[in-house]
Structure formats: C-alpha cells, structure tokens
Homo-oligomer: A and B are copies of this chain.
Amino acid sequence: MTIERITTGYYRLPLEPMGDAGHGRIDTEELITVELAADGLVGHGYAYTIGRGGRAIRSLIDHDLRPLLIGQSAHDVAALWDRMWRGLLYGGRGGLVAFAIAAVDIALWDLRGLRENRPLWALAGGTARPIPAYGSGVDLPKPLDGLLRQVEGFIQRGYSGVKVKIGKPDAAEDLARVAAVRRLVGDKIDLMIDVNMAWSIDQALDRGRRLAEYNPFWLEEPSAPEDVEGHARLVRELPMPIAVGESLYSAWEFERYIAARAAGVVQIDPVTNGGITPVLRVLRLADEAGLPTSSHYTDELSAHLLCASKNPIYLEKHAFALDPYLEQPQVVTNGTVRPTDGPGHGLRFNPEALRPYAAD
C-alpha cells in the first residue's frame, strides 16, 4: 500500500458576501483538494479557508509534504501524521501547516476506509446514528430583517437550533439582534451565539451576563484563544456554556483548554484542527472530561466523527455549504444528519462543478 501519487487542486468559490466580528467581510471560500493514490485506490481530502492562505496550503502539500509521503506505506496514518508534523515543525505547530496536514490526513483516512471497505464512522470507533443539526449563519453584516429571514429559513428546514453572529462595536445592537431572534424562534429552539473572538475577557464577562436573559445554548469564541485562563474564568463565571474549537490548531491546544476547564462545549473541525487523526484524540479528551461535542463546518466529515463521541449535541450546518460542488450533498432529515454508509468518508467533489472556479 505504497503512496504513489498526490494531486492537488485549488478553487476560489464565490460566497454571497458575509462576515463576522473576527474575520471581517468574507466573499470567497478557498478550497484545496487532495487526491492520494496507492495500489489503485484513491483517497480524497480537502482543506478550506475563508478567503486567504489557500495557495500557501497548496504549496505546502505540493512542495513540502509530497516528498515526505511518496513511497511511504499508507497503512499507519498516525505515523504519517507524525512524519508530516515533524517535517514541518519549524513554522508549523498549527496554523496553515495544520490545514495542509489535515487535507492529506483526511485523504489517508478515506483511503483506509476504501481499503478496509468500512465507513469513516466505523474506523473512528463510532456507532452510526442521527446527529441533531443546527442552522448557522455568517450574518453579522445582515440588517436585522435579513437576519430574521435567515433564521426563519433554518426553522422551516427543521433545525432545532440556530446560530447568530454578534460582536458589533455597539453592545446594545448585539443585544437587540439576539432579543429579536429569541422572540422570533420562541423558547423551544436552541439559540447559539458566536462572537468570533471579538471581545476582551472583561467585555465577555460583562456582555455575556447581559445575554443570559435570552438563554443562549452556548456562547462561542468570546475572545482570542491565546488567553486560556481567561476562558476558564468565563466558564466559571458565566451562566451559559462556552464553546471553542475552530481556532485551535492541534490536539495539544484542546488539551490545554480541557485541562484548564476553559471550554464547556468542544467543537471539532478536522481541517483547522490538523486532520482526523488529532480530532479523534480531541473527542477522547472531551469524553474523558465529560464534555459535550459539536462541530465547526466540515458538515460531511463531522457527521462521521461525531458518531465516535459520547455526547455529540449538535452538528453545525454551515453557511458555506459545499452542496453545489458535491456528487452527493448531505441529506438533512427532521433536522438531523447521518454519516454515509459507504467506505471512507464518502465526500466526493464534482469536477464539473468545481472547474469554473479553478485558480493558480
């Protein structure tokens, strides 16, 4: 099972302009695809960005990871993950290097599934089951009526939870938006709030308390992830759970958060977290700590991975839907999703659909 070929693609997928408090305006998703061939089988992987750094990820795979992989056995995915991590250690330990390793790691897990004829959820030690999904907007720039229409759409599609972005300069405007959404959806719908790191810890304490009356299901990324102890304080002092994960680039970063009791909900993203290999470790850490898990984007992969978690409370159905570019878009039934049952992770891009967006 020798790795013979690694092929990458780079696409700039247009988005209806959106935005959040941490990353500003977002109008392009970068998609970096990986095909990894061994013994006549081809595993598929990908990474994405919210608009910048994608060419660098492709460069890392083409120039720096490929020479570490070609000719190696594809069997021991964990060993290959270590080889990539160590090979790019200088300038690595997270960030874009984690995204590049992730794209390859996802392809290696897919290949393992094809070889063993088992779906990813089984390889991950999980049990296939429906996971509740929530509708998630990247909606900070939307005027209030547009925000409410979007939330109505989520409810009509059957989701039992919805997420809205806050983090505007004017705290009163944030509160007004959350209040209006809560009024719209009533008390039976779970309402997630996402700050995208816009606040200081002190702001988060103050504004988090004022949000409490709207009974948020969680408060996500209230502040920049550098301050772990600050997040532990938020967990201790705020009434709602604190959710983190999309900006943690290794299992070690999660480990620090979980050990410091600085997270109440653990959100996995097999791209930003460095691949499926570290995510499975993160899910174990969350289980051991008794923490519920959720996902960030990566809807199709996370439907498998959350099946390996004891308490997967919600999968995020993200605004950057890959549906137009997939052979088989993920199906939502009664507000839940299930992992696919074929071998591997089952995610296949439609080359015809992607082609117009290919770039150098």
Contact = CB atoms under 8 A, between A and B. Distances in A.
Interface residues of A, number: 44
A96 interface: yes
Nearest to A47: B91
B24 A86 contact: yes
Contact of A95 (B22, B95, B256): B95
Interface string A70-102: 000000000000000011111111111111100
A226 interface: yes
Nearest to A64: B52
A57 interface: yes
Contact of A96 (B23, B49, B97): B97
Contacts of A24: 86-87
A50 B256 CA distance: 28
Interface stretch (A107-115, A245-253, A282-290, A338-346): A245-253
A63 interface: yes
A52 B252 contact: no
A91 B63 CA distance: 19
Contact of A93 (B90, B97, B249): B249
A217 to B, nearest CB: 24
B272 A53 contact: no
Given A59-B56, A97-B53, A256 B226 contact: yes
Best-buried of A97, A252, A272 by chain B (most CB within 10 Å): A97
A291 B53 CA distance: 36
Contact of A92 (B51, B53, B55, B252): B53
Contacts of A86: 22-24
Interface string A284-301: 000000000000000000
Nearest to A247: B93
Given A226-B252, A226-B256, A53 B91 contact: yes
A225 B89 CA distance: 11
Interface string A236-250: 000000000001011
A144 to B, nearest CB: 26
A93 B226 CA distance: 9
Contacts of A313: none
A325 B115 CA distance: 50
A49 to B, nearest CB: 6
A60 interface: yes
A87 B53 CA distance: 10
A25 to B, nearest CB: 11
Contact of A57 (B56, B57, B88, B255): B56
A222 to B, nearest CB: 15
Interface of A: 22-24, 49-53, 55-57, 59-60, 63-64, 86-100, 197, 224-228, 247, 249-250, 252-253, 255-256, 272
Given A23-B86, A55-B59, A56-B59, 14 more contacts: A24-B86, A51-B90, A52-B63, A52-B64, A52-B87, A52-B88, A53-B91, A55-B63, A56-B63, A59-B59, A90-B247, A93-B226, A95-B96, A224-B252
